[in-house]
Structure 1
Amino acid sequence: MTKAEPIRRRSALRVGAGLTAALATGCAADQQTATPAPAAHPASPRPAHPASPRPAHPASPRPAHPASPRPARAAPAPRRLPGLPAQIAHGPRTGDRVALTFHGQGDPAIANAVLKEAERADAHVTVLAVGTWLDAHPAVARRILDGGHDLGNHTLHHIDINTLSEADAYAEITGCADRIRRLTGSIGTWFRPSRTQTATPLVTRLAQRAGYPHLLSYDVDSLDFTSPGASAVVENVTSAVRPGSVVSLHFGYADTIAALPPLLDHLDRRGLTAVTCTELLT
C-alpha cells in the first residue's frame, strides 16, 4: 500500500459520509415538504360544495303551484234557458232526475269526502262556492270540475245579500265571479244568492248584469247546516224530494257525509238519479 492510499481511503470515507448525510437531509426535506400535502386536502374546495346552489332548489316556483291550480276542463259558462224563469227552484217534474246542490264553504276535507261519496254512487252534484273559500282553498275548484260536477257562484263573503246596497250586492256577485273565472276560465254555471232561498228583484237584476241569466233556488231544504243528525237530514230530503227537485245541502257538516249514502240509496230505490243542475235543466 502506498502512502497516498490511506489518504484516498479517508477522503472516500469523508465523501461517503457526506453523501449519506446529504441523502438523509434530502429525505428529511422531502418528508417535510410532503407532510403538509395531506393536511391541505380537507381544505380543498369540497367543503364549499354544500354552500353551492343546490339548497336553493326547494325555493323554486313549485310552492306557488297550489295557489294557481288549473282545472282539467273549463267550467261551463252560464247560458239563458228558454222557457225557464229568472229564478229556478226545480226542474221538470215528469223525468227521473233530481239535483243535489251544495253550498261550498267549510273544511275542504269534508267537501272532498262528500264528493267521494257522490262519485261512489255515480252521482253528480252542483257546488255553489263562496269566493273567500276559493281564495283559501283554490284546489277545490279543480277537484269539483275533475269529478264532473257543476261549479257556481254563492257570493264573495256569504252574507245576507238581500239586505245590501246595490253597489255592495253587485260587488258580492262579481267578486266571487272573478275568483271562479281566474281558476276555471268562466264565471261558473250558476249563481245562488247567499242566506236566502229567494233573491229580491234588485239582486236578480244585478246577477243578470254580472252574466247569470238565471238564479238557482231550491224546493227541498235538508237543514243539514243545523246539525240535526244524519238520520234527520235523510228524512228532511226523502220526505220532500220528487222528480225535478233541487235539494239544498252544505259542505262543512259531518252530518252531510253520513247522510249521503243512505240518501243516494233512497233515490236509487225510487228510480231517481242525482245529476248536475245543468243536466237537470237543459
Structure 2
Amino acid sequence: MPPTDRRSTLRTAAAGLLTAVTAGCSPATPPAPKAPPATGGLRARPAQITHGPRDRPHVALTFHGGGDPATARALLETAERHGARLTVLAVGTWLDENPGIARRILDAGHELGNHTQRHLDINAMPEAEAHAEITECADRLRRLTGSIGTCFRPSRATRASPLVETLARRAGYPLVLSYDVDSLDFTAPGAAAVARTVLGEVRAGSVVSLHFGYADTVAALPAVLEELDRRGLRAVTTTELLS
C-alpha cells in the first residue's frame, strides 16, 4: 500500500475509535456524581439544636445538672424504672462537689454534657472568660469519665451567642443544645403545673428543658413519662434523638 493510502487508513481508523469512545461518554449518560464526604453525623459542625426529627416517636428530656444530688438520683431512678434515658448538662462546680455522679449517669445509659463551669451568664462574658467556662467544665468531664461529652448548653440563656457557639465548637462540642419545650420547673410552680406545661407542648422530636434540684420536677416526672408512653413517645438521649 502506498504511504499516502496507509496514512489515510490510519486516520479513518483513529476517527472511528474516537467516535466509539466519546459515544460511551455522551452527556446523555453522565457519570454518577461523587457522594459528599462523610461528616460522621454528630461530629459535624455544631448547630443550635432546638429539636430533633418530627417524624420519629422520640423526645429528649434534658436536665440542667446542679442542686441537691438526692433529687438527681431520684430523677435518674424514676427514668430508669420507665426505660427512659436522659441527657444531663452538668455544671462543673456541681461535678466538683459530687464527683461520683458523672459515672452514675453514664453507667445507667444516660448522656452527659457541658453546662459551663460556674453557671453564669456566658453570653455576656468576654471571650477569654467564656472560653474558660466551657473548657474548665470539659476538663472536669474528661477527668471523671474520659470524655467531654457531645452536647454543650449555654448557661443562663436559651441560645448561645455566635461567639459562644464558636467557642463550644473550638472546645470539641459538635452540638450546641437549646430546646423547644421549657418546663419552667425552676420557678417552682408545683408538680402538676410542670407536668401540664411539658405535656401541653411536647411532640415528636422535642427537646425538653428540665432541672435537677427541684422537688416539683421529681414529683412530676412519673406522670410525664407515663403520658409520653401512652402517646407512643419514647424518651431517649439527645444523641439518639438526632442520629
Fold equivalence (TM over 0.5): yes
Aligned to 2:170: 209
Distance 2:96 2:165 in 1: 25
Work out which of the two has the higher radius of gyration on C-alpha atoms and give 1 or 2: 1
Per-residue displacement from partner, 1:158-199 (whole Å, max 9, x unpaired)?
001000000000000000000000000011121100011111
Aligned to 1:44: none
Aligned to 1:223: 184
Conserved 8 A contact 1:80-1:213: no
Matches within 5 A, 1:133-172: 133-172=94-133
What number of residue pairs does the alignment pair up?
Answer: 204
- In 2 relative to 1, CA 85–169 (structure 1 residues): closer, same or farther, beyond 3 Å? closer
Per-residue displacement from partner, 1:101-148 (whole Å, max 9, x unpaired)?
000000101100000000010000000000000000000001101110
Aligned to 1:178: 139
What's the % identity of the aligned pairs? 69
Conserved 8 A contact 1:198-1:217: yes
Aligned to 2:208: 247
Conserved 8 A contact 2:46-2:173: no
Is 1:92 aligned with 2:53? yes
Distance 2:57 2:149 in 1: 25
Distance 2:43 2:119 in 1: 29
Is 1:278 aligned with 2:217? no
- In 2 relative to 1, CA 223–158 (structure 1 residues): closer, same or farther, beyond 3 Å? same
RMSD: 1.3
Question: Which of residues 122, 145, 150 is equivalent to 2:83?
Answer: 122
Distance 1:279 1:244 in 2: 11
Distance 1:228 1:85 in 2: 34
Distance 1:243 1:104 in 2: 24
Q: TM-score, normalised by structure 1?
A: 0.71
Aligned to 2:23: none
- Higher relative contact order structure (alpha carbons within 8 Å, sequence separation ≥ 6): 2
Q: Which amino acid aligns with 1:213?
A: P
Aligned to 1:111: 72
The structural deviation recorded for 1:81 is 2.8
Where 1:102 maps in the other structure, the secondary structure is strand
Per-residue displacement from partner, 1:203-242 (whole Å, max 9, x unpaired)?
0001011111220110000000010000000011001000
Where 2:209 maps in the other structure, the secondary structure is strand
Q: Which amino acid aligns with 1:109?
A: A
Distance 2:44 2:179 in 1: 18
Q: Moved runs in structure 1, 4+ residues, more than 2 A? A: 79-85
Conserved 8 A contact 1:230-1:255: yes
Q: Which amino acid aligns with 1:198?
A: R
